[in-house]
A and B are shown apart, each in its own frame.
Chain A
Amino acid sequence: MDVILFTFFGLVAIVGAVSLVIQKHPISSALSLVSVMVALSVLFLLLGAEFIAAAQLVVYSGAIMVLFVFVIMLLNAGAERESRKAGLAQFLGLPLTAVLLVFASYVITQSMSNAKAVKFGAFTGGGPREVGWALFTQYLLPFEVTSILILVAIAGAVVLARKEID
């Protein structure tokens, strides 16, 4: 069961990610990203991170991506135009990312030799209670700092998005 679910949603994530990169229209890209996020949230569930999986759905795909779609629709951004290429990135980009990928995979397989096999339900430390407990004890300071960050971000967004008074 684990294998089936992992393979299926892993493939969905990869296809979605590729589609995000190659689709020309921002709306298509945004929806591809949503599918990646939904697939990832299922993978989170498999890894026993229940709360994070739900947060992924609520925060990422339910709020952030809705905002993206909203902005794309509001601007009625059309399909991307072919334009002059950025030279260096164009020629070195693909090889370099390939190298990065290979290197990362190598490091992972080498260094994580003692890795567990993932079994759904084996790890249950990711429920809302555990996450909440960790957040409000060990990580209280970072949590508060993040809330201030959000506050600042809201203020910044409001200032930026306000229409110029002319």
Chain B
Amino acid sequence: MSQLLPPGFFTATVPLNAYLILSAILFAIGACGFLFRKNIITIYMCIELMLNAVNLSFVTFSYQFGKVDGQIYSFFVMVVAAAEAAVGLAIILTIFRNRGTLQIDEIDSLKN
């Protein structure tokens, strides 16, 4: 099998920058979604996407410096995201119960 493929096919490596740029791309897409979407749950998910992108760069830096600290940070990000999801979804639930909609431009007033 190894004769059929170019030499070094299985051993080629990826530059670390590629991971960082991937992280930046994901972050940018998340930011776009955050700006354009109207559904409050989708906006929430875009924030999660941005957090994930940041996680990726944390883990990549952890690789770069050969230390576990970056991973610890992304672990904390995860934990905070979990807490945030619990509270955020509860808020969404309450909003929906009171307003009957999830469109943010319909819930921009303080009163019904």
Contacts and interface: CB of A to CB of B under 8 A. Distances in A.
Secondary structure class of chain A's binding surface, majority of residues: helix
Contacts, number: 248
B64 A160 contact: no
B39 A14 contact: no
Nearest to A94: B32
Contacts of B105: 83-84, 86
Interface string A42-56: 011011110110011
A115 B92 CA distance: 42
Contacts of B1: none
B26 to A, nearest CB: 5
A33 B94 contact: no
Contacts of B56: 40, 43-44
Interface residues of B, number: 74
Closest 4 CB pairs of A and B: A153-B83, A21-B33, A160-B90, A115-B16
Interface of A: 1-3, 6, 10, 13-14, 17-18, 20-21, 26, 29-30, 33, 36-37, 40, 43-44, 46-49, 51-52, 55-56, 59-60, 63-64, 67-68, 71-72, 74-75, 77, 80-81, 83-84, 86, 89-90, 93-94, 97-98, 100-101, 104-105, 108-109, 112, 115-119, 123, 125-126, 130-131, 134-135, 138-139, 142, 146, 149-150, 152-154, 156-158, 160-161
